[in-house]
Amino acid sequence: MHYYQFHIGDYKSHTHHLSLLEDLAYRRLLDFYFLHEKPIKHRDVARQIGMREHEEDVMTVLNEFFISTEHGFVSPRADKEIKQYKEFAEAGKRGAAKRWGTPPNGEAISPPNATPIATNNHKPITNNQIKESATIVACPSDVSQQVWDDWVTLRKSKKAPITKTVLDGAIVEAKKLGWTLEQFLIEWCNRSSQGLKAEWIVKPNPADKVRLTVPPSNEPDPALLKIAEDAKKAAPIPLEVLAKMAQIRGRA
């Protein structure tokens, strides 16, 4: 079996006295036992669990937590969990056989084109669900998970499908720009659009066209020239006028 329950509190109460190496040996022995579902042979077990240089610690754990038999070291507690797991798996097989029908050879089958049916515990599978599961694509290796998740969220918000065809199209458009797929998807997310084409990105700005059609001029502004000339022609205020203005301000 490839899965077993691990009760942290129970494990700690029984192993708090172990050294680090003994604790490691016990965990590896448990994994080895559950994986192979058979007694552990004393010969070469330390090497098999990757602790060939610590055979003494391995034997200490075997003698304390396992029972030595003529077939090898066994764990009654682990055997109980393995038995329960097999009974559960067998019950699942019987349930599947009952649900889909069992042919004479005893193997449960499911008609390839059978109409989805409802059970007491599950809602019927719809054609939309089947279609959705068939169109799910994985994150490409050259795209970070964060960028991919953002793009998927955008597609879902637009109620747009996430298919291999759409992704292949994005790859083609990215190559037109000389971009990586990740750069293209980032731009797609920034624009928050349902679709994106390379031509939409490289299309020139109309304002840029206006600037290109109006030639630049190096000539000074005529209005600024007139102001400068008027300033040169302006005569200074006579001293008697300045004195009269000061006298008026003083009376005020």
- With respect to residue 245, please indicate whether it lies within any of the assigned structural domains: yes
pLDDT for position 159: 87
Residues 107 and 96: beta-carbon distance below 8 Å: no
- Look at 94 and 126; give whichever has higher pLDDT: 94
Condensed to tens digits (0 to 9), the pLDDT of residues 43-57 reads: 678 888 888 888 888
Among candidate residues 151, 205, 207, the one with its CA nearest the CA of residue 174: 151
| Structural domain range at position 186 | 134-220
Both 210 and 240 in one domain: the answer is no
Both 158 and 213 in one domain: the answer is yes
Model confidence at 235: pLDDT above 90: no
Residue 206 CA to residue 210 CA, distance in Å, equals: 7
pLDDT for position 128: 54
Runs of H (alpha helix) within 140-217: 145-157, 164-177, 181-191, 198-202, 206-213
Angle between the N-to-C axes of helices 20-36 and 55-65, in degrees from 0 to 180, rounded to the nearest 10: 70
- With respect to residue 129, please indicate whether it lies within any of the assigned structural domains: no
Both 56 and 141 in one domain: the answer is no
Both 54 and 152 in one domain: the answer is no
**Domain total for the chain?**
3
- With respect to residue 118, please indicate whether it lies within any of the assigned structural domains: no
Strands 67-69 and 72-74: antiparallel
Condensed to tens digits (0 to 9), the pLDDT of residues 136-181 reads: 688 998 999 999 999 899 988 988 888 888 989 999 999 998 999 9
pLDDT for position 134: 42
Among candidate residues 138, 177, 200, the one with its CA nearest the CA of residue 151: 138
- Look at 251 and 66; give whichever has higher pLDDT: 66
